[in-house]
Amino acid sequence: MRGAQVTAQTAAPRRTLHVALGAAIVITLVTVVVVFRKGDAHVECGPGFFARAPRCLGCPPPLVSRAGACDAPDVRIQVPETTLTVGPSDWEAEGRVARRSVHVASFAIDAFEATVAKVEGRPSLDGARAAGKLARDEAAAYCASRGGRLPTDDEWLAAAAGASGVGAVPSGKSDVDRFRRYPWGDTGAVCRRAAWGLVQGPCASGALGPDTVGAHPDGDTPTGIHDLAGNVAEWVVDDAANPSAGGALGVVRGGSYRTALATELRTWTRREIPLASREPDVGVRCAYEGTSAAAIPGYPRRSP
């Protein structure tokens, strides 16, 4: 009888332990599934691409296949002479953006960010991925090799925020009304419009580098410039960047795949980083003087 009591007393804790272990396993499995789904659930890619969190993969038009590898086409967009007013047109900009007028002469700019294949100068298996880890001198040298240069800060703004109706200001409108909040317009930043929030959400998790260029056509500018918000932040020339730092800092614009807050994709947002830094989410898009023979006034936009 005593032995039976001992057995019952030891069996109860064992049952409790087994139940606890079983519950822990179930919770772990549920957590893994939830985390996996969090990485996958919001990855949204353009037509012809397929989502493999946290990336958009594939080589649909307008991307091209060269020597069996994917890359972006060499397309430049002509940006017309532009005048606009940069200012705090929404409450997030208050205290962060000084109201000023921007005027730039006509110039051309690459429709796509510099890709791994273009920067390396050879076909690559992941060649259509945006190139990162570029210091400013490296970015400038790349553009010079293509007959171009880094865009100025004002030129980047004109390309990203200025031109859907460049020219006379409509009656009853001011320049600041025409300054686009995002490259695609004033509607909200959602995951289908840009490669952003890919490291710790909200669009995916676990990204270790940039995404394929042109994979989010819903975020194109009205003239068809891709990825001016998200993917990689882009070097610009701004000699006024933090003069107290002795010229050691430069400016990048556009947010990146590491950007976690949609407000950081706004066209007025800028980031100052060391000129020599080679951050994984910093790349380049080149500009070209005047009217380029290779430039077009607008690039065909794919339907959503």
166-195 pLDDT, tens digit each: 333 333 444 334 678 899 998 889 999 999
List % helix, strand, coil for the chain (3-state, nearest 5).
30, 20, 50
C-alpha pair distances (Å), 279 with each of 17, 131, 183, 269: 49, 11, 23, 18
Retrieve residue 84's tokens.
């606009």
- For residues 272 and 251, is the Cβ–Cβ distance under 8 A? yes
CATH class of 42-296: alpha beta
CA atoms of 145 and 152, how far apart (whole Å): 18
Identify residue 37 by its one-letter amino acid code: R
125-168 pLDDT, tens digit each: 899 999 999 999 999 999 999 999 999 999 999 999 986 633 33
State residue 1's pLDDT score.
45
| Residue 218 binned pLDDT confidence (cut-offs 50, 70, 90) | very high
State residue 42's pLDDT score.
64
Identify residue 27 by its one-letter amino acid code: I
- For residues 78 and 108, is the Cβ–Cβ distance under 8 A? yes
The more confidently predicted of residues 303 and 41 is: 41
The more confidently predicted of residues 297 and 51 is: 51
CA atoms of 154 and 240, how far apart (whole Å): 12
- Give the residue extent of every domain in the chain: 42-296
H or E element at residue 25: helix 2-41
Which residue shows structure tokens 């430049």?
76
Identify residue 7 by its one-letter amino acid code: T
State residue 27's pLDDT score.
33
- For residues 72 and 64, is the Cβ–Cβ distance under 8 A? yes
CB atoms within 10 A of CB 159: 26
- For residues 226 and 213, is the Cβ–Cβ distance under 8 A? yes
Mean pLDDT of the 51-55 span: 92
| Residue 2 binned pLDDT confidence (cut-offs 50, 70, 90) | very low
